[in-house]
Amino acid sequence: MAILSVDNLSLSFGGLSVLNDISFSVNPGEIFAIIGPNGAGKTSILNCIGGFYKPSAGRISFDGKDITRTSPDRRAARGLARTFQNIALFRGMTVLDNIKLGAHAHLKTGLLRALAYWGPAHREEMTLREQVEQDVIDFLEIEAIRKQAVGSLAYGLQKRVELARALAMHPKVLLMDEPVAGMNAEETEDMARFVLDIQEERDITVVLIEHDMNVIMDISDRVMVVNFGQKIAEGTPDEVQSHPEVIKAYLGQKKD
């Protein structure tokens, strides 16, 4: 059974149609890529899945449950995590504190005890810190910068910290919006390796948007192509890159 299903998804802003009747499913443990030209509607799909946009029509199911009308925080608590195209971190906070925020959706301490920060609240926070340091920081090889302010880090490291915060949520499905955008070759290679490790070692399903076709073709199990808000192809990387509609969308219609 698919861990994530999108059925007949449509999205409009006023009279502008952004997505039109898009359907696809993602299998547990796979890397599913969404590609398409700029403005095709890729990020809008992730925003609908994550709960930031309310679809005009259609249904979204996650882990066997309909989440179409579920709030973003409840989706996160159920195991749906997200990274963003534009880095969304607290620049004045340390790397460790930014990452810890990702796990707060799973904390059980009540409001009053959390405000007082005593007893169970303190113990839970210390346990969380230990888990983050051992499980996430070591995994992404950022131990050396864990006490640094995020705003002082190079761009590639900030992207890695944002990924760490998402992993701290213990997701079942990780949504990634252009994870290697703006990175140099070495940073891109590192991020691609981490995505593969997330899939293989942690059995986390990954849904990603990316413009780097080398990365897409190297790490994806299946690829869906959208153009002008419509799905035009879906299949393996080899199938998609030779699809005539995909070639047309990226290269334009040839004149006779």
Give residue 4's pLDDT band: very low, low, confident or very high (50, 70, 90): very high
Q: Is residue 221 part of a domain?
A: yes
- The more confident residue out of 130 and 36 is 36
Q: What is the mean pLDDT of residues 242-247?
A: 87
Give residue 253's pLDDT band: very low, low, confident or very high (50, 70, 90): low
Q: Is residue 207 part of a domain?
A: yes
State yes or no: pLDDT of 106 exceeds 60.
no
Amino acid at 99: I
Q: Based on the domain organization, do 122 and 245 belong to the same domain?
A: no
- Bridge partners for 208 per DSSP: 33, 176
The tally of domains found in the chain comes to: 2
Q: Is residue 89 part of a domain?
A: no
Q: What is the mean pLDDT of residues 31-46?
A: 94
CA angle 203, 176, 141 (to 5 degrees): 65
Of 115, 136, 161, the one marking the end of a domain is 161
Share of the chain above pLDDT 90, in %: 62
Share of the chain above pLDDT 70, in %: 86
State yes or no: pLDDT of 117 exceeds 90.
no
Q: What is the mean pLDDT of residues 141-170?
A: 91
Q: Is residue 147 part of a domain?
A: yes
The pLDDT value given to residue 115? 45
Catalogue the long-range contacts made by 135-143 (C-beta closer than 8 Å, 24 or more residues apart). 135/167, 136/99, 136/164, 136/167, 136/168, 137/95, 137/96, 137/99, 137/164, 139/167, 139/197, 140/164, 140/167, 140/194, 142/95
Q: What does the block give as tokens for 58?
A: 């259609």
How many Å apart are CA 14 and CA 45, to the nearest integer?
Answer: 17
What is residue 236's three-state secondary structure? Answer: coil
Amino acid at 238: D
The pLDDT value given to residue 254? 47
The predicted model scores a pTM of 0.86
Range of the domain at 17: 4-79+171-251
Q: Based on the domain organization, do 157 and 200 belong to the same domain?
A: no
Q: Is residue 226 part of a domain?
A: yes
Q: What is the mean pLDDT of residues 123-138?
A: 70
Q: Is residue 85 part of a domain?
A: no
Q: Based on the domain organization, do 53 and 121 belong to the same domain?
A: no
Whether residue 225 contacts residue 215, with contact meaning beta carbons closer than 8 Å, is answered with no
